[in-house]
Amino acid sequence: IMAHDLLNFNQAVLGYLELVSSKKMLEGDNKRYVESAIEQVRNSSQLIEDIQKMTRLGMLEEREIGDVNLTRVIDESISDIELLYPDKKIKIDFRKEDEEVYVKGTDFLYDVIINILTNSVKFSGSDKVSIDVSFSRPEAAEHLIDTVVEDHGIGIPDKVKDALMGDRESDAKSRRARGFGLVFVRAIADHFGGSLILDDRIAGDHTKGTRIVLRLPEVLHR
């Protein structure tokens, strides 16, 4: 109930801020301050929703996990991310396979893909966002499939990667730098018998963008 109330408060604040932001007389630093406030309120709401989902994840029973059409989930997520960020020019190249891909999971996988795409959009460093999405199958991991998301944004420094992936020696400030989203993604991947891999799009140079690999058990012979 408290989380629901907080989301309602945030929605009211967001509505007023967006109304102020739409005023033509607002410009310069004042406009940037309001836009920054809007982004922080959105981040707060996303954090509350992710914590709610983490709580639900902990109560998830094995019988609730089934076959999920991952191709369709990615298609829906791409359509929705473009609506969530109308001020961005988003180009997502989704290289599909001839047949639709199915994995083990639940409707949480939609939230996973949205979180990954949101990460790429928020840290693009530009109003123009370019993202590549594809599938691959790791040779050393039979019956698993990778969803590979590569962006051309500002990238993730190694210290922050370690923090997001649970390195206890990495400081909390680094973990907060990317928020709760990718931590949430990793928790869901682990729960479904998969994993999350964070890497540089160009090996050894994090400033050229990020490569995120979501590895999940593939459903074969449908």
For residues 37 and 43, give the distance between their C-alpha atoms in angstroms, rounded to a whole number. 10
- Residue at token pair 């994840």: 57
Two tokens, residue 14 = 């967001």
Alpha helices in 59-171 (DSSP H): 70-84, 108-122, 158-164
Say what the pLDDT of residue 7 is. Answer: 61
Phi, psi dihedral angles at 103 (to 5 degrees)? -135, 170
Number of H helices, E strands in the chain: 7, 7
- Residue at token pair 């123009």: 128
Using the predicted structure, report yes or no on whether residue 57 has a pLDDT greater than 70.
no
Using the predicted structure, report yes or no on whether residue 200 has a pLDDT greater than 90.
yes
Using the predicted structure, report yes or no on whether residue 174 has a pLDDT greater than 50.
no
The pLDDT confidence band at residue 191, using thresholds 50, 70 and 90, is confident
Q: Helices 2-21 and 28-58 sit at what angle, rounded to 10 degrees?
A: 160
Say what the pLDDT of residue 120 is. Answer: 92
Phi and psi based region of residue 166 (left: phi greater than 0; alpha: psi -120 to 50; beta: remaining)? left
For residues 43 and 179, give the distance between their C-alpha atoms in angstroms, rounded to a whole number. 8
Say what the pLDDT of residue 137 is. Answer: 92
Of the listed ranges 35-39, 86-90, 108-112, the least confidently predicted one is 35-39
Of the listed ranges 108-122, 152-166, 183-197, the least confidently predicted one is 152-166
pLDDT tens per residue across span 119-172: 899 888 888 999 999 999 988 778 899 999 999 999 988 888 887 776 544 444
Using the predicted structure, report yes or no on whether residue 73 has a pLDDT greater than 50.
yes
Say what the pLDDT of residue 211 is. Answer: 95
Mind giving me the DSSP string for 51-83?
HHHHHHHHT--GGG-EEEEHHHHHHHHHHHHHH
| Short-list 92, 98, 95, 102, CA closest to 72 | 102
**Mean model confidence pLDDT for the chain:** 81
Among residues of the chain, what percentage have pLDDT more than 90?
39
The pLDDT confidence band at residue 58, using thresholds 50, 70 and 90, is low
**Arithmetic mean of pLDDT, 28-54:** 72
